[in-house]
A and B are shown apart, each in its own frame.
Chain A
Amino acid sequence: MRWVIRRIGVSLVLVWIVASIVFLALRCVPGDPAELLLSQGGAAPDPAAVAQLREQLGLDRPIWTQYFASFDALLHGDFGNSLQDDSPVATEIWRRLPRTLELIAASTVIALITGLPLGLAAALRRGGLFDRIASWIAAAGLAVPLFVVGTLLVLVFAQGLHWVSAGGYVPLAQAPGRHFALLAMPAVTIALGLFATVFRMTRAAVLDVSMRDYVRTARAKGLRHGRIVIHHVLRNALIPVVTVLALQLGTLLGGTVLVEYVFNYPGLSGMLVEAVNARDYPEVEGIVLVISILFVTLNLLIDLLYGVLDPRVRQA
């Protein structure tokens, strides 16, 4: 239990570091940040607008005052107001965050329920036709960028076959069928890259575990093949797979940015692209912070899962 508490403490420190960096990033660039944000293609911005932005962002106050004020606001769930329409950033973030979370969850589930069994099957028939085909698909899944996959899916299934519309979002309560139909393409797009990683790692881990002494012990016990595979091989192979899943989290969260843009999915990451385009710093700051906290939290969950899977970790 002490291990869990310590791990949570580390995560809190990470969140604090992330928040500080996001705060400092704008303020430590050389020159006037307000002028920088307003400059467009080398043209000098209007001094009145710069002054107004400075005041709006609080850049005219001493840096420590700004730092503590922004942390105080953060703790109250206040991310400041958008530069575009002066609406509170936090409201919009809370509205969109569940959609991005749903997208992440759906793609992770798809990647796991395909990658784990296929990786296991490929390893058990190593060198066979199935292994080779699946390995090629996985190599392709790693090579084709997310936005390419997404765009091609739109081209084929929306423009070509007219099975689904090219993108958009409908709340679950409004029309459940259409909600999942619209979720499917972005989720599959993200899942493809993740599938490739899960597949390759599962295959490698199963091959590795199969040669361990304890698998030989399991065979020496006269256990059924299925039980050896599930209970001894796969159970231990899950540990490195989870490690890799943790390493892929960053890519997964980054992937939502591109995929939400491609499918016009109104999640948090799509909002980020608009904000970056408008150089709306408070909004960017808020979204980056929330996604980074999400990143740290998911890492924490995976570490805790790791402890469940591997009893040796709990001691350390």
Chain B
Amino acid sequence: MRRPNLIPVGAVAAIAIVALAVPVLGLPNPTAMSIAHRMAASSAAHWLGQDEYGRDVLSRLLWGARVSLPVAAASATAACLLGTALGLAGGYLGRVAELLALRGTDVVLCFPPLLLALLVVTILGPGAATLIPVLTLVFLPGFVRVVYAGVLSVRSQEYIDAMRVLGAGRLRIMLRTILPNIAGPILVQYSLAAASAVVLESGLSFLGLGVLPPAPSWGLMIAAARSTMTQAPLLLLWPCLALSLTILAMNALCDALRDATDPHRAPDRLPRRLLNLLASGLPPAHGPLLDVRNLTIEIDTPDGPIQPVRDVSLSVAPGTTLAIVGESGSGKTLTGLAVMGLLPSVARVAGGAVRMEGQDVPRLNEAALRRLRGDRMAMVFQDPLSSLNPVHRVGAQIAEIIHAHRALPDSVARDRVVALLRRVGIPDPARRARAYPHELSGGMRQRAMIAMAIANDPKLLIADEPTTALDVTIQAQVLDLLAGLKREHGMGLVLITHSLPVVAEIADQVAVMYAGEIVEQGSVAEVLARPLHPYTAALLRSAPAEDGSMPDSILGTVPPPHALPPGCVFGPRCGLHTALCDAARPPLIDARPGHGTRCIRWRDLVAVELHPCADERHPRAVERHPRARPEDQPVQARCQTVGPLRVSRDPRVEPEDDGNGAAAPEDDRNGTAVPGDDGDGAAAPKNDWHGAAVP
């Protein structure tokens, strides 16, 4: 529970203190009449004047708090204790107790509260003594339900089982473990009950059926002042004000308590800032379909801005597929949303450009964006159940996207919807068009999403994990469908996925993302066959192998965007990690033509990957080379096929040796580490990796 807003807490406390202190304030007797001074205006002795019997108004107001509040407190407390006991019993003692406690108290809910009170007052007669039990009864079901729900959610948790195993008695378990867990909701319910008790008490007293005269209740004072309101409107105003402010304070307390105890209440959204875009170069005349240049996305958080996507550059040509691969939290989806101009309101494009057919998406106004979205570019979202509107029929949701961009008669659009559903392989499309999303299977929902996205033959389709929730056969069908659409319409496809087999099957180009950056980029054939970044290599090893051997997992987790390591973001999980890697953030360098990597030690990686003597294909095996001194010579001696592996043993780059890897000269880097398989290693250092140390 967070600390609640203290203003309402203080206000309610102040009212309670005044009510408690009234007898010692030396006020005139609230029931002492003085007919001679009927409705006298305010005076030194009577600050707020006198009422229709000449009684002191201020005194009656303050004494009124002593009538309303104890009734409220007593009934709320009684209902709280009784309701908590019943709720605990109902939640913990088995079915019979559950039935009696819940259904029994639910009967009360069949009556409007005021009516139930009036029924009891008719039988028992009016008075405070009747009010308290009536109000207790009215609030009882609320407490029973809150406590019961709390018990249900707590009792299944493991520590309750643990206590049982330890031999704790039921009563002790209930009091010790469950009560503190549900204290928050009970407190909220208590303040709600107390506030509505004040409302009900004053209402009944106003009708003459609650507190009896001459006791100074606010409801009674209002009722009495009604008859004289033309002569003395202030007499009416004071009790109205006292009553309303008290209830306002109690309601505010309820809200504050609810905010403090409810973990789901989000803090208010941060103010929106203007897009702060860096100037980007001239748009290319005949550029690719989609061209993303140095895209950086920023999100303001209470702890300062974070950048979940940094310096991402991508391009997609018509009729080709770019796959963006990475673990969850790597920034793939945010990148896709940025392309669509659909970033959540807390996120913004802080730098770079997104050009769709030459138009800079982040700079377009909403109307221009709207014309682009759903027409020339479309997106298939990850979770089709939550991404489809639950209250509209699937067909209507697809027709909607057609109508948004094409002026077509309804019947034509309807035929088009059925044709689309048939195209994505949904059987009986005319009937399925009339179904609601929850009536379709997961695979069909995903197909419906795709049908919706391709309804206007988009030039670019972004598919975010389109196969994640599907079983293998459906996955293959959805991928075939996407490939077919790409061929038929020359559509560019951006496929966001974490699955390398999917990439291998469908993509032409691949960008591997890690912790918000592209760490490796190139053609699928290149990247999957010869990964030049340890993360890609690790991902490849973590994919299920065809020979059935257990895949290796990558140790550690993706660093959160507010706690990125210095230098290379993959450093802490990397087997090739050296002090040099932490010196500065490595740039994306073209290790081979069209094949970029953000690893400064990509040559070492190639060496190890191709090293026939590396008995283990895990980065940790690589790790041994620089660190395990005794093995150095044997490795070099044993291995004759790839030449001297000097690079990983170069004393000048090893932290163990001099701790100053950044001082390594660049001359002996060239060529030596790259096995002579294709010889293009020499072309790589055009983008000198040393640049990384001094960006």
Cβ-based interface call for A217 (8 A): yes
Distance of B571 from chain A, by nearest CB (Å)? 34
Contacting pair B119 A145 (CB below 8 A): no
Contacting pair A213 B119 (CB below 8 A): no
Contacting pair B243 A17 (CB below 8 A): no
Contacting pair A276 B452 (CB below 8 A): no
Contacting pair A253 B112 (CB below 8 A): yes
Contacting pair B111 A250 (CB below 8 A): yes
Cβ-based interface call for A315 (8 A): yes
- Which of A1-9, A68-76, A174-182, A277-285 makes up part of the contact surface? A277-285
Cβ-based interface call for B157 (8 A): no
Interface bits A216-233 vs B (CB < 8 Å: 1, else 0) = 111111111101000110
Cβ-based interface call for A159 (8 A): yes
Q: Which residues of B contact A253 (CB under 8 A)?
A: 112, 114-115
Distance of B516 from chain A, by nearest CB (Å)? 21
Interface bits B395-425 vs A (CB < 8 Å: 1, else 0) = 0000011001100000000000000000000
Contacting pair B373 A276 (CB below 8 A): no
- Residues in A218-276 with C-beta less than 8 Å from chain B: 218-225, 227, 231-232, 235-236, 239, 249-255, 257-258, 261, 272-273, 275-276
- A146 to B113: give the CA distance in the assembly, Å: 15
Q: Which of B124, B240, B371, B388 contacts A217 (CB 8 A)?
A: B388
Cβ-based interface call for A109 (8 A): no
- Given known contacts A155-B229, A217-B387, A221-B373, is B207 in contact with A21 (CB within 8 Å)? no
- A148 to B226: give the CA distance in the assembly, Å: 10
Contacting pair B381 A222 (CB below 8 A): no
Q: Which residues of A contact B392 (CB under 8 A)?
A: 231, 235
Distance of A37 from chain B, by nearest CB (Å)? 7
Contacting pair B110 A222 (CB below 8 A): no
- A122 to B110: give the CA distance in the assembly, Å: 34
Cβ-based interface call for B375 (8 A): yes
Count of A-B contacts judged by CB separation below 8 Å: 214
Q: Which residues of A contact B453 (CB under 8 A)?
A: 220
Cβ-based interface call for B268 (8 A): yes
- A239 to B390: give the CA distance in the assembly, Å: 11
- Residues in B204-256 with C-beta less than 8 Å from chain A: 206-209, 219, 222, 226, 229-230, 233, 236, 240, 243-245, 247-248, 251-252
Q: Which residues of B contact A284 (CB under 8 A)?
A: 118-119, 122
Q: Which of A219, A251, A295 contacts B342 (CB 8 A)?
A: A219
Cβ-based interface call for A198 (8 A): no
Cβ-based interface call for A62 (8 A): no
Q: Which of A211, A217, A227, A309 has the most CB of B within 10 A?
A: A217
Q: Which of B118, B379, B436 contacts A257 (CB 8 A)?
A: B118
Contacting pair A213 B390 (CB below 8 A): no
Q: Which residues of A contact B125 (CB under 8 A)?
A: 36, 39, 279
Q: Which residues of A contact B36 (CB under 8 A)?
A: none
Contacting pair B374 A222 (CB below 8 A): yes
- A185 to B188: give the CA distance in the assembly, Å: 33
Contacting pair A254 B113 (CB below 8 A): yes
Contacting pair B110 A296 (CB below 8 A): yes
Cβ-based interface call for A61 (8 A): no
- Tell me whether chain B's interface is mostly helix, strand or loop, or mixed: helix
Contacting pair A14 B124 (CB below 8 A): no
Cβ-based interface call for A144 (8 A): yes
- Residues in B242-281 with C-beta less than 8 Å from chain A: 243-245, 247-248, 251-252, 268-269, 271
- A236 to B453: give the CA distance in the assembly, Å: 22
Cβ-based interface call for A114 (8 A): no
Cβ-based interface call for A142 (8 A): yes
- Which of A25-33, A47-55, A86-94, A95-103 makes up part of the contact surface? A25-33
Q: Which residues of B contact A21 (CB under 8 A)?
A: 107, 110-111
Contacting pair A145 B247 (CB below 8 A): yes
Contacting pair A143 B207 (CB below 8 A): no
Q: Which of B115, B379, B449, B452 contacts A291 (CB 8 A)?
A: B115
Cβ-based interface call for A66 (8 A): no
Cβ-based interface call for B324 (8 A): no
Cβ-based interface call for A301 (8 A): no
Q: Which of B112, B391, B405 has the most CB of A within 10 A?
A: B112
Q: Which of B271, B344, B388, B404 contacts A224 (CB 8 A)?
A: B404
- A33 to B125: give the CA distance in the assembly, Å: 12
Contacting pair A219 B388 (CB below 8 A): no
Query: Could you list some 16 contacts between A and B, CB below 8 A?
Result: A140-B244, A143-B244, A148-B240, A151-B226, A211-B344, A214-B389, A217-B389, A219-B342, A220-B340, A220-B453, A231-B392, A236-B390, A288-B111, A292-B110, A292-B115, A311-B391
Counting from the closest, the 5 A-B pairs by CB-CB distance are A254-B114, A222-B374, A143-B248, A250-B112, A221-B374
